[in-house]
Amino acid sequence: MAIEPQAPTEPGMTSLLKGIVSDLGELIKKQFQFAGAELKADARKTWEASRMMAIGAGVATLGVIVLTFMFVYLLHALTAPPEMDPAGLPLWACHGIVGGVTLAIGATVLLAGKAKLESFNPLPDETLQTMKENLELSHGSSRPSAS
């Protein structure tokens, strides 16, 4: 009784399924790594924009406080006799200039932070798009074409 050499057999169904499950697991793992990296980058951008907005809001608040003092001095100057103030520029005008410049700087920084925050979407768009494409590819072979 002679034993015939067997031709190489095709991989079994179980080994094919194991390969598919392994590849799917690796794909999901890579997707999560990609999403994590994208979220870190977006969090850094959000932090920078928020910091700019907070600094701008703080400086603008200081400007509003100084302008409030200016209105107090303006009221005083309007009700005081003219010979009382020996300076060439009234105190209320000094407060107004400083408050206006401070308010303008704060508003500029605040608007720059807002623009930076609006310039990107903090969601992991690239990861979501890739996952959507992967799902379409995996379901595309089982769905009939709509053309």
pLDDT tens profile 22-43: 888 888 888 888 888 888 888 8
pLDDT of 144: 52
Note the residue count of the chain. Answer: 147
Q: Which span out of 7-16, 21-30, 129-138 was modeled with the highest average pLDDT?
A: 21-30
Let me know: does 33 contact 114? Beta carbons within 8 Å: no
Q: Which residue has the tokens 């790594």?
A: 33
pLDDT, position 6: 60
DSSP 141: T
Instruction: Count each helix (H run) and each strand (E run) in the chain, helices first.
Output: 3, 0
pTM over 0.95: no
Average pLDDT value over all residues in the chain: 78
Q: b vs e for 124-142, b when ≥16 Cβ sit within 10 Å of the residue's Cβ?
A: beebeebbeeeeeeeeeee
User: What pLDDT score was predicted for residue 9?
Assistant: 59
**Residue 106, pLDDT above cutoff 80:** yes
